[in-house]
Structure 1
Amino acid sequence: MTQIAQILGILLNVLWWIIIIQAVMSWLIAFNVVNMGSDLVRNVMYALDKMTEPVYRPIRRVMPDLGALDLSPMVVLLAIMIVREVFLRPYLY
């Protein structure tokens, strides 16, 4: 069971960083620090969107529409923290 908990912990850690990187990239794009005209930036954002959309979709269905403010990444990060502390902590530490 410890190995499964370690693998799940690693996967949650990777998802955590993917969400953080996506949030920072979206802020950089929103404030015109990074240009979406660049093929590299466009491909990175496309890949990040494809990785996180299946995770965000159920949350976006439940949460109310707040216009341009998307709180689903914050909800997912909070859920990752809860899973780590409540379910994985007894097996990893």
Structure 2
Amino acid sequence: MNAFIWLIDTLLDLYMWCIIISAVLSWLNYGGIINPSNRFVYLVGDFLYRITEPTLRIVRRWIPNLGGIDISPVIVILVIAFFRKLLWDNFGPY
């Protein structure tokens, strides 16, 4: 059971890092610091967009736009952190 809980926790942690990296990459892209026409940057950005956008889209439906600032990654990260804490408190090792 502990291995299964560890696996779920690790997957949630990886997904949280994907959201963070995707947000930072979008800021760097918007600021002109990285070149989105670079093949590697494009592939990484596209991969991160494809795995994070379905979750972020759900949050964006319910949270209003705050003057051009997208807080959906912050909300998703907080929800993931809550579920990780809940997971370890209820099913973690005693």
Specify if TM > 0.5.
yes
Provide the TM-score with structure 2 as the length reference: 0.86
Q: In structure 2, list runs of 5 or more residues that go unmatched.
A: none
Q: In structure 1, list runs of 5 or more residues that go unmatched.
A: none
- Distance between the aligned counterparts of 1:17 and 1:41, measured in 2? 17
- The answer as to 2:35 corresponding to 1:35 is yes
Q: What RMSD, in angstroms, separates the aligned Cα atoms of the two structures?
A: 1.6
- The answer as to 2:29 corresponding to 1:56 is no
- Residue 58 of structure 1 aligns to a residue in which SS? helix
State the partner residue of 1:72: 72
- Distance between the aligned counterparts of 1:68 and 1:43, measured in 2? 26
Question: How many matched pairs?
Answer: 93
Identity %: 34
Structure 1 runs of 4+ with >3 Å offset: none
Letter in 2 for 1:69: I
Provide the TM-score with structure 1 as the length reference: 0.87
